[in-house]
């Protein structure tokens, strides 16, 4: 199980519509809205990193959502399984080159 504290960055004029959409996701709880109505603070409970990745993609596809940032994660028993050698984590999404492939605008040509 993965628990994530995340921020959904939104277009202010679509805030209420986006909040209503987020409430429909059983994995999401809304905790706060930024003073300027551009951020929604949420927590996400997902089964694994693939589920979190899929949910993040769905959130980013919502009209009016600018981005989703995960700022805190708790991996619960997954860490114990990794330490015990039961699971080898897939780290490819965390490698710098993989992130650059996903967002070519981050690449700077010198």
Please give the model's pTM, rounded to 2 decimal places. 0.72
Q: Report yes or no: 45 and 3 within 8 Å, Cβ to Cβ.
A: yes
Element (H, E) at 18: helix 15-23
Question: What sections of 45-106 are H helices per DSSP?
Answer: 49-60, 77-83, 96-102
53 pLDDT above the threshold of 50: yes
Quick: pLDDT tens for 58-107: 999 999 999 999 988 887 776 777 778 877 766 555 444 444 455 554 55
Backbone angles phi, psi at 39, to 5 degrees: -135, 140
Higher-confidence residue: 100 or 57?
57
Structural domain range at position 97: 2-106
Q: How many domains does the chain have?
A: 1
Q: Can you give the CATH number for the domain in which 86 is found?
A: 3.30.70.920
């Amino acid at each position: 199980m993965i628990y994530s504290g995340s921020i959904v960055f939104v277009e202010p004029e679509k805030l209420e519509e986006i909040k209503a959409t987020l409430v429909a996701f059983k994995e999401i709880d809304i905790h706060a809205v930024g003073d300027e109505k551009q951020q929604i603070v949420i927590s996400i409970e997902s089964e694994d990193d693939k589920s979190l990745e899929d949910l993040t993609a769905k959130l980013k596809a919502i009209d009016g959502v600018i981005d989703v940032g995960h700022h805190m994660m708790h991996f619960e028993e997954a860490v114990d399984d990794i330490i015990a050698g039961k699971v080898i984590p897939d780290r490819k999404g965390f490698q710098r080159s993989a992130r650059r492939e996903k967002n070519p605008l981050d690449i700077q040509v010198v």
